[in-house]
Amino acid sequence: MSAKTVGLWTGAALAVALIGVAAANGLAPTAGQREPVSQPATGAAAGPNTTAVTLRTVDGGADYYARFRNSLPAEPTFFPIGVWLESVLDKGNVAMDAAAGLNTYVELTANSDVQLIHDSGMYALPAFVHKAAAGFTLSDEVDMWAGPGNATWTGNYPGEGPPCSPEGTPCGYTIQKDRRAVAPQGALLYSNYGKGVTFWESDEEAREFFAGLQDVVSADNYWFTDPNICGQGEGGAIVGYTRDLTKEECRLAANYGWTIDRLRNLQDPATRIPVWAFVENGHPSGDVANTSTITGPELRAAVWSSLIHGARGIIYFNHNFGGECLTQHVIRDCGKDIVPTLTAVNRQISGLAPVLNAPFLDNATTATGPVDFTTKLHDGKAYVFAGANKKAGGEASFKVRCGGSTAVVLDENRTIPVVDGTFTDTFADGNAVHLYRMEGGGSCGF
């Protein structure tokens, strides 16, 4: 959202309020009009794997950010961990955010001190031009409030009047192009999309939002807290829009990985740009029915599901419109509730940044059981990252082709023996995540 409208709208508010706007403008079709969302493959696979192991670089390449002027670090030790639409007014603000493990501000209030952010060793991607910024935000949820189309943009944002001319015709593609035209030359360009790209629009319509418009992309689907996302016309995309999702199917960390897959699969595999994950860290949808405050275990599982599915950055939605701690600064104001877990997750991500930025070892691992997983190769060792994809969790067995004699479970002070290339572990529930480093083996020749 443009900095000039931050007092009126935030991402979560748009996600709820603009459902009606989209319907009024014909942008949220009925169930009979929708085309099923392309179904991404999960990491889980049963039976022996005879497919060749291949090395796949992360989307955009490991040094992707080096392409842009004064942008984010391209070093393998850096992984973007951001917060959405914060205000940074003094050193105390930066200190609190940095202590929680943040390193990036994505969107900012208009009164924020971008130079202070830069001088503090942090990075900013505001929606306004500033010489100290590391990038530029094009728009937020334009797929929802303007829709997929090439009509003329009036310059209006939500709450300011009709955004498109003629009124009622979609102009989202135009808005992105117009915003790109005023962006600093050579800057890293970022956009966030919403339920239009992920649920409401056909693959063809959604792909147009990826046609050379931005360099980094995200979508904010709040699976744990959104009151509407379980409905047939939204999260029902997972089952081909045939029905509502059950609570067990919908309020599930693995669905954050589904969102990452959706954005990756809308792109040409040869030219994919990085996808960043959006995860709520509080109570974003207000005090209405069927919503709640995300818990620490849910947040950790949502973040790791996103990373397992290839997310190259994390953004926290930092605003509470309901619950016990009403604020637009969850990390600074609601520390006792979520910040200890959030900080621990961020430290874990930062510590594993060289692994997360390293290539994938596709087809190196297969599994039976209720898990999504991925395999990475770093410094001659294979890593298997796995998260439950069923609410009840369960036991999972992993067959590793590039592993060894032992699976070291990171940050859990335990190891699991690998017998005949196989090890087994228990995932207590749908929020369970286990991260393994394989010891005593090779790297499949890579």
pLDDT tens readout for residues 368-403: 999 999 999 999 999 999 999 999 999 999 999 998
Say whether pLDDT at 2 is over 70: no
Per-residue pLDDT band for 153 (boundaries 50, 70, 90) equals very high
Letter string b/e over residues 58-88, b meaning 16 or more CB atoms within 10 A of that residue's CB: bbbeeebbeebeebbeeeeebbbbbbbbbbb
Say whether pLDDT at 1 is over 50: no
Give the tens place of pLDDT for each residue, 276-296: 999 999 999 999 998 999 999
In angstroms, the CA 351 to CA 77 distance is 8
* E-only strand ranges, 225-269: none
Q: 169 exposed, middle or buried (CB, 10 Å; 0-12, 13-18, 19+)?
A: middle
What is the average pLDDT across 305-332?
Answer: 96
Per-residue pLDDT band for 443 (boundaries 50, 70, 90) equals confident
What is the average pLDDT across 256-272?
Answer: 97
- By C-alpha distance, which of 360, 367, 246, 378 is closest to 309? 360
* pLDDT score of 426: 98
- Cα dihedral sign, 319-323-327-330: negative
Residue 367 pairs in a beta bridge with 45, 398
In angstroms, the CA 121 to CA 107 distance is 17
In angstroms, the CA 164 to CA 203 distance is 22
- By C-alpha distance, which of 398, 397, 404, 363 is closest to 380? 404
- By C-alpha distance, which of 276, 438, 425, 410 is closest to 344? 410
Residue span(s) of the chain under CATH 2.60.40.1180 come to 359-439
Percent of the chain topping pLDDT 70? 89
In angstroms, the CA 284 to CA 271 distance is 33
Say whether pLDDT at 12 is over 80: no
Q: Which two tokens stand for residue 371?
A: 């898990």
What is the average pLDDT across 222-245?
Answer: 98
Residue span(s) of the chain under CATH 3.20.20 come to 3-42+68-356
Q: By mean pLDDT, which of 110-119, 172-181, 227-236, 401-410 is the weakest?
A: 401-410
Say whether pLDDT at 24 is over 90: no
Per-residue pLDDT band for 335 (boundaries 50, 70, 90) equals confident
Could you please state the CATH topology (level 3) that the domain comprising 3-42+68-356 is classified under. TIM Barrel (3.20.20)
* pLDDT score of 233: 98
Per-residue pLDDT band for 298 (boundaries 50, 70, 90) equals very high
Give the tens place of pLDDT for each residue, 194-210: 999 999 999 999 999 99
* pLDDT score of 50: 67
Say whether pLDDT at 218 is over 90: yes
Say whether pLDDT at 235 is over 90: yes
Long-range contacts from 87-92, C-beta under 8 angstroms, 24+ separation: 87/111, 87/112, 87/328, 87/329, 88/112, 88/113, 88/114, 88/116, 88/117, 88/124, 89/113, 90/116, 91/116, 91/120
What is the average pLDDT across 124-146?
Answer: 98
61 vs 18 pLDDT, higher one:
61
Q: Please, what is the average pLDDT of the chain? A: 90
Per-residue pLDDT band for 49 (boundaries 50, 70, 90) equals low
What is the average pLDDT across 434-439?
Answer: 98
Say whether pLDDT at 182 is over 70: yes
13 vs 370 pLDDT, higher one:
370
CB 80 within 8 A of CB 72: yes
In this structure, whether the domain defined by 359-439 belongs to CATH 3.40.50.720 is answered with no
Say whether pLDDT at 408 is over 60: yes
What is the average pLDDT across 239-247?
Answer: 98
